[in-house]
A and B are shown apart, each in its own frame.
Chain A
Amino acid sequence: MPYQPIKFYQVGSFAAGNRLLPEDLRSVQSGGDRANTLTCGHRACQGCGEALGARYALDAVTRATKGKLIAVNATGCLEVFSTPFPETSWQIAWLHSLFGNAPAVASGVAAAMKAMGRPDIRVVAQGGDGGTVDIGMACLSGMFERDDDVLYICYDNQAYMNTGVQRSGATPPAARTATTPAVGPEPGNAFGQGKNVPLIAMAHEIPYVATATVADLRDLEYKATRAMDFHGARYLHVLVPCPLGWGSPPADTVKVARLATESGLFPVFEAEAGQVTGATPIRHQVPVQDYLRLQARYAHLFRPEERTDVIARIQASADRNITRFGLLDDQDQQTSRPERVRLAPAPHDYSAGER
């Protein structure tokens, strides 16, 4: 019988095929020694992207630091669903202080470790988009500017989900939230200028900035791990769909995240010292409608009639991302187009491989 090579992307998911990889290339989650930093029993909603992202990211960081890790958490869904007293799902040293101060608290922890002669103990801070792009922005920028030895992870679900889905500075245009309702002639969130925190982080020229989504968990693990190769301020921005706030089926969390990247609306890239060093190419480009249609927060763009004008503006922003980060292989080379450098093993490298 002729040998049939396996193409991992045949299954349409990078997560599959893990068992087929050599052991040293397998995911952190597939390991028997995974840390279960955010262990079972927490109270996140079904299909919560943030819980998924946090678990993968922190397990990877825990492995990278050999367990010498302290985590600081901003107020928000992640904090609330993981620690209603007296239960806690955290199996690591974990501190929650306030909504807007997680970066500064983490800086203080890092300073204490330095002062006490324990620089081997690393610090990660985490928060949602509200705690990061809005109320925590000043502390975050200060932490970046001082280059404090902290990895900050933003789990971006694009609104204040913990308080009941209100608009944040990360809420995309046209999206319906409780404070940008789908009523009137221009329903949903207004088209603003946006607040692109990964690019703001890069403007600080900190050692490492990356974006990731829960659609590509191997990539998320890689970036969380890669971030710990650096000292100083690092920033990881993870898109985490929220079934409750986005109005998407809980079973579609990963699918929605993938469509966000495949449409170009959420570019996945990494950068060192302010320079983009690599971007994940779009494999099967989809129009933004495919992404928007799955989510009730955009329902008003399709009913009673399709708002082609609004959708065109959203598509234009996706196209800008595609050009800016060179997300399409067949696109004309731009002078500013970053090289696609893969610094460590990632699923794409084996996707077309043969065994």
Chain B
Amino acid sequence: MLRQIEGSRAVAEAVAMCRPQVICAYPITPQTHIVEALGTLVKKGELNAAFMNVESEFAAMSAVIGASAAGARAYTATASQGLLYMSEAVYNAAGLGLPVVMTVANRAIGAPINIWNDHSDAMSQRDAGWIQLYAETNQEAADLHVQAFRIAEELSNPVMVCMDGFLLTHASERVDLPGQEQVDGFLPPYEPRQVLDPNDPVSIGAMVGPEAFTEVRFLAAERMRQALDLIPAVAASFAREFGRPSGGLVRPYRVEDAELIVVALGSVLGTIQDAVDELRADGIRAGALGITTFRPFPAEAVREALGGVHRLRRLVVVERALAPGSGGIVTADLRAALATTDGRPPHPGDTIISTVIAGLGGRAVTRKALRAMLTSAAQGDLPPFSFLDLRRDLVESELARMRAARRSGPSAENMLRDLSATAPGALD
């Protein structure tokens, strides 16, 4: 049913249609609207589930671990600091192989504290053993949750659905929400692979020493390998049942003859596609590649989508997270994917890969800025590593302050002061 609806509400209703039995909630911006809506559905009796208001994100993930191990379909949602605070339990859920589904309303990580969107939170958990799916639109965010439960439960592996905080969670747009019967037909009841049952008691979470730990971890890798087959299969099944494409591994856009391809995750892809269209109008053969499944990293699908690396001239990876001291997180995976054709480097030097750090802490990634950056990339002027829309004046004056005095003070606050001093209409 088509509705004009807030992204969080759409996700909450999609999750509710998946009939979770235990939902844990601890509030953190910008995830709140999702759990608020779910709590209301439970309170009104429209969703038959246990809704737990817990005391922290660590408890939220811990409680869904318990619920999932006890055989219940379990869900929670978080963001940013909350994801970090539950990190130990995030790894634990994956290690135990529990098919929990969690929404991450992507938000920056402090300090400095910042409530707005980027991907630093989810990227920090990329090696936790969770499948990570990134939604491009609110429609996809809703759809991915329906797919996520099926993927998680089939593999017995947790799935994180990442949706950009505010840009998606708080945006109202048209979403086609599925009907309950449709979802019931798509998502079978949860049949746990392992369960706490007094009639058939097992020990779960036992200590494992060197004699089998590697094998347990191998199986984690194996589940991820299986996920690479399962995720597109579930997406195809979803497309058949629901009549629209959603999810999958990668999403190519006008890449067939492209010489310049922009790679990105999440909602920024819409703006990137607009920029690609403009570049095409300018005569630049541009394209875009959305990565919907970031974990497992779909190396083969990426290679296929890029259609043979030797033909391609330039790749620009737009990263909404920074790996200080390393650069771009997605770039590293992309390079590895492109370097692993038959075990030999594919025509080194043919493809120039640039990392562009963009949209940190909610800074808007505009079509204008993207177009300018991509145009310079097409002309060979884009450095291997750069920040989009960086206020270089702010950085330079702070660097100068740090050179001038040992006790130069807190950088963030210094730059904020500079900003207010140079703001139009500033009094002093």
Contact = CB atoms under 8 A, between A and B. Distances in A.
B81 to A, nearest CB: 15
Given A83-B206, A111-B63, A139-B62, A146 B196 contact: no
Interface in A57-84: 67-70, 72-73, 79-80, 83-84
A232 interface: no
Contact of A101 (B21, B59, B202): B59
B221 interface: no
Count chain B CB atoms within 10 A of each CB in A73, A84, A104, A138 and give the residue with the most.
A104
Count chain B CB atoms within 10 A of each CB in A80, A85, A108 and give the residue with the most.
A108
A115 B55 contact: no
Contact of A105 (B65, B88, B201): B65
Interface string B195-216: 0111011111111110110000
Count chain A CB atoms within 10 A of each CB in B22, B63, B96, B200 and give the residue with the most.
B63
Given A98-B92, A142-B59, A108 B207 contact: no
Contact of B59 (A67, A93, A121, A139): A139
Nearest to B202: A93
Contact of A142 (B56, B92, B205): B56
Given A80-B207, A142-B54, A108 B63 contact: yes
A119 B92 CA distance: 26
A96 B89 CA distance: 12
A311 interface: no
Given A85-B207, A88-B203, A142-B55, A98 B62 contact: yes
Given A83-B207, A85-B212, A116 B202 contact: no
Contacts of A15: none
Contacts of B207: 79-80, 83-85
Interface string B53-68: 1111011101111111
A168 to B, nearest CB: 19
Nearest to A88: B203
A97 B96 contact: yes
Interface string B67-89: 11111101000000000000011
A133 B24 CA distance: 24
Contacts of B59: 101, 104, 107, 138-139, 142
Contacts of B200: 93
A54 to B, nearest CB: 14
Given A109-B66, A111-B52, A142-B59, A116 B24 contact: no
Contact of B204 (A95, A104, A112, A142): A95
Contact of A68 (B22, B70, B198): B198
Contacts of B62: 97-98, 101, 104-105, 108, 139
Contacts of B60: 104
Contacts of A98: 62, 88-89, 92
A199 interface: no
Contacts of B49: 115
B180 interface: no
A95 B205 contact: yes
B363 to A, nearest CB: 34
Contact of A107 (B48, B52, B92): B52
B50 interface: yes
A86 interface: yes
A109 B71 CA distance: 9
A196 interface: no
- What is the size category of the interface that chain A forms with chain B? 35 or more
Contact of A108 (B66, B88, B96, B208): B66
A58 B315 CA distance: 61
Nearest to A81: B207
Given A84-B209, A112-B71, A115-B22, A95 B66 contact: yes
B54 to A, nearest CB: 6
A343 B340 CA distance: 72
B58 A104 contact: yes
Given A85-B207, A92-B198, A92-B201, A116 B212 contact: no
Count chain A CB atoms within 10 A of each CB in B96, B196, B200 and give the residue with the most.
B196
Interface in B205-254: 205-209, 211-212
A95 B196 contact: yes
Given A70-B196, A96-B204, A104-B58, A116 B72 contact: yes
A335 interface: no
Given A112-B72, A146-B52, A106 B66 contact: yes
Contact of B206 (A88, A110, A141): A88
A178 to B, nearest CB: 22
A90 interface: yes
Contacts of A68: 198
A113 interface: yes
B198 A69 contact: yes
Contact of A112 (B56, B67, B96, B201): B67
B15 to A, nearest CB: 15
B203 A83 contact: yes
Nearest to A92: B201
A108 B50 CA distance: 9
B55 A145 contact: yes
A193 interface: no
A94 interface: yes
Contacts of B74: 108, 112
Contacts of A114: 50
A116 B204 contact: no
A204 to B, nearest CB: 12
Given A97-B96, A115-B22, A85 B206 contact: yes
A108 B52 contact: yes
A95 B97 CA distance: 13
Interface of A: 67-70, 72-73, 79-80, 83-86, 88, 90-98, 100-101, 104-116, 121, 138-139, 141-142, 145-146
Rank and list the top 6 A-B pairs by shortest CB-CB distance, nearest first.
A108-B66, A142-B55, A108-B63, A96-B205, A101-B62, A112-B72
Given A108-B65, A139-B62, A146-B53, 13 more contacts: A84-B209, A88-B203, A90-B203, A92-B198, A93-B197, A97-B65, A108-B24, A112-B71, A115-B67, A116-B70, A139-B59, A142-B55, A146-B52
6 contacts: A101-B59, A109-B66, A109-B67, A111-B67, A115-B48, A116-B70
